[in-house]
Structure 1
Amino acid sequence: MKELVEYILQFGHLNTQQIDLVLSKAKKSALRKDEYFSEAGKIPRQVGFVVEGVVRGCYYTNQGEEITRCFISENNLVVDYVNFETNTVSSDYLQACTDCTLLVFSKEHWEDLSRIIVAWDNIKNKMVQLCMYQKSRKGPVISQDATTRYLAFLETHPSLINRIPLTYIASYLGVTQQSLSRIRKNLR
């Protein structure tokens, strides 16, 4: 829970009583590899904070091709916030790439914090902006060659390369898994 407190305090000040209230609303939860935190076709009902593990945001094209949009690792919020906030059905999935430990807020508890803590909305808005920026970032620039995209991935996500399946990385980069294997082999 210490990680969550440090994360929140980056965005504003809360006193000890307010921090205790926030922590009392969070529930520790485990998400096994390949399980979904939220799914397309359903209304998102929770906000999570990744304590340990990696979650990916993905969707399927009309042709059934799976596209990985983003990776969310430790000390970040995980939520399909637009659909969460508007109570609308999501078109994206948030799926565990590894076994994950999360601190989870139900919609009711998340909204309670806004009603009780005066500074919460300002803090929440800053956290959500960062979360949405991370989620909405498009994958690598497809006009770059695949090797350049892979090297950029290594630079921006150095801790992920040995933690998540290569198929997800290939999807994120917009290449086949065979192409990614070839790129990796050529770089050794």
Structure 2
Amino acid sequence: MKELIAYILQFGNINQQQIDLITSKVSPMELRKDAYFSEAGKIPRQVGFVVEGVIRGCYYNNKGEEITRHFITENNLVCDYVNFEANTTSTEYIQACTDCRLVVFSSQSWEELSQTIVGWDNIKNKMVQICMYQKSRKNPVISQDATTRYLEFIENYPLLINRIPLAYIASYLGVTQQSLSRIRKNIR
């Protein structure tokens, strides 16, 4: 819980009474590797904070291929926020890449904080901006060669290389697993 409060305090000041209220509004959640936090075709109903583990956002293209759009690591919010706020059906999946521990706000709890804590909307908006930025980061530029894309991935996500399946990295980079294996071998 201290990780969540430290994260929130980056975006504004809250007192101990408000901290107590926030902590009373979250529930712990464990996601096993490959389990979904939210799914395409369903309305997202919660906002999570990743305490431990790695989560990815993915979708299926018109050929039925799975495409990884982004990764969410510890100490970050996770939510399909546009659809959460609009109460509309999601078009992507949010899936655990590893076993994960989260704390989760229900939509009702998230809304109650706005109604109860003065200044919460300002803090919430800043947190949501970061969440949206992470989600909107585009996959590597496909016009770059695959080796360059992989090297940029290593630079942007240095701690993920040995934590998540290569299939997810390959999907993110827009290459096959075999191509990724060759690239990795040539770099060593």
TM-score range relative to shorter protein: over 0.9
TM-score (structure 2 length as normaliser): 0.99
Instruction: Give the secondary structure class of the aligned counterpart of 1:58.
Output: strand
1:15 positional shift: 0.6
**CA RMSD for the aligned pairs?**
0.4
CA–CA distance in 2 between the matches of 1:177 and 1:23?
42
Give the structure 1 partner of residue 160 of structure 2.
160
CA–CA distance in 2 between the matches of 1:90 and 1:136?
15
Give the structure 1 partner of residue 112 of structure 2.
112
Give the structure 1 partner of residue 145 of structure 2.
145
CA–CA distance in 1 between the matches of 2:149 and 2:26?
37
Give the structure 1 partner of residue 94 of structure 2.
94
Give the structure 1 partner of residue 29 of structure 2.
29
Unaligned runs of 5+ in 1: none
CA–CA distance in 1 between the matches of 2:40 and 2:62?
13
Instruction: Give the secondary structure class of the aligned counterpart of 1:171.
Output: helix
1:136 positional shift: 1.1
Residues 6-155 of structure 1: matches in 2 within 5 Å? Answer: 6-155=6-155
Instruction: Give the secondary structure class of the aligned counterpart of 1:49.
Output: strand
**Alignment length, in residue pairs?**
188
TM-score (structure 1 length as normaliser): 0.99
Task: String of CA shifts for 1:128-171, please: whole Å, max 9, x gaps.
Answer: 00000001111111111100000000011000000000000000
CA–CA distance in 2 between the matches of 1:185 and 1:38?
35
Unaligned runs of 5+ in 2: none
CA–CA distance in 1 between the matches of 2:136 and 2:59?
12
Give the structure 2 partner of residue 4 of structure 1.
4
Which of structure 1's runs of 4+ aligned residues deviate more than 2 A? none
